[in-house]
Amino acid sequence: MIKIENLSKRYDTGVISVEALKNINLTVMEKEFVSIMGPSGSGKSTLMNILGCLDRPTEGLYELDGQSVQGMSDDELAVVRNKKIGFIFQSFNLIPRINALKNVELPMIYAGISAGQRREIAVKALQKVGLEERIHHKPNELSGGQKQRVAIARSLVNNPSLIFADEPTGNLDTKSGNEVMGIFQQLNAEGVTIIMVTHELDIALHTKRMIVCRDGEIIEDKPVENQIIIKKQEVIL
């Protein structure tokens, strides 16, 4: 569970101070599927970075699974990111010189998992996203949708309780974007908590809860009515 209270983030340049987040209060329960929306400069990416332990708040409380995050050292935050959180990015962030299997194994290397176990877990994760026939392909041999599915598989291997996805469909065509959202819906149905930043309303409508940011504040927080459901057979795995 995520709980933040009276959270603010300021960036001081020495000349001016920019308040990126202002007095944010938010709770996300286990097994939720949440989208965070807003225009450029709204604070949604800053909020995502703080929730993902990639940045620290200037003020306020942040608790993740009952633990206070803001008092953790950099090393402690790195452990939290590796063990509890899976990250998915718009640009995929795959290493081009190694194949899909090796890319998926990377978080497990940092977690100290043995080579044999890494391979077994990575193969299962790639099977889960329908890429068992592409495990030896390098990123330049994969389509955009396939690259994002590799990134999703990589986010799953340490069995995180929480997945953060930053504009995960931003570089994809409509068909591939819908396939990715279908995978997210399946993962959420299996109990994974997902928080996703997007600027696309039609993508946000695939989630269950929509949070809208503007000028560093949450201006709307509501359940998604008429959620778009991707049927399992529509997910081209």
- Domain with residue 87: its CATH number is 3.40.50.300
| CB atoms near residue 224 (< 10 Å) | 16
In a domain, 63, yes or no: no
**Residue 38 to residue 211: CA distance in whole angstroms:** 9
Nearest to 234 by CA among 169, 168, 182: 182
**Residue 81 to residue 126: CA distance in whole angstroms:** 21
For the cut 80, the answer to whether the pLDDT of residue 234 exceeds it is: no
| Reported confidence tier of residue 225, pLDDT bands at 50, 70, 90 | very high
**Residue 169 to residue 177: CA distance in whole angstroms:** 5
For the cut 90, the answer to whether the pLDDT of residue 111 exceeds it is: no
Q: What mean pLDDT value characterizes the chain?
A: 92
In a domain, 127, yes or no: yes
In a domain, 121, yes or no: yes
In a domain, 140, yes or no: yes
Domain that holds residue 151: 30-40+75-234
For the cut 60, the answer to whether the pLDDT of residue 41 exceeds it is: yes
What pLDDT, on the 0 to 100 scale, is given for residue 142?
95
| Reported confidence tier of residue 110, pLDDT bands at 50, 70, 90 | confident
Side-chain-side CA neighbours of 209 within 13 Å: the count stands at 16
In a domain, 15, yes or no: no
**Residue 231 to residue 98: CA distance in whole angstroms:** 33
Q: In what order do the strands lie in the sheet with 2-12?
A: 17-28, 2-12, 59-64, 67-68
Q: Which residues of 57-90 are buried (b: 16+ CB within 10 A; e: fewer)?
A: bbebebebeeeebbebeeeebeebbbebbbbbbb
In a domain, 70, yes or no: no
Q: What total number of domains does the chain contain?
A: 1
In a domain, 57, yes or no: no
Tokens (6 digits) for 82: 């590796």
> Tens digit of pLDDT for each residue in 53-86?
999 999 999 999 999 998 899 999 998 998 899 9
What pLDDT, on the 0 to 100 scale, is given for residue 77?
92
* Predicted TM-score of the model (pTM): 0.91
CB 88 within 8 A of CB 152: yes
In a domain, 62, yes or no: no
**To which H or E segment does residue 119 belong?**
helix 115-128
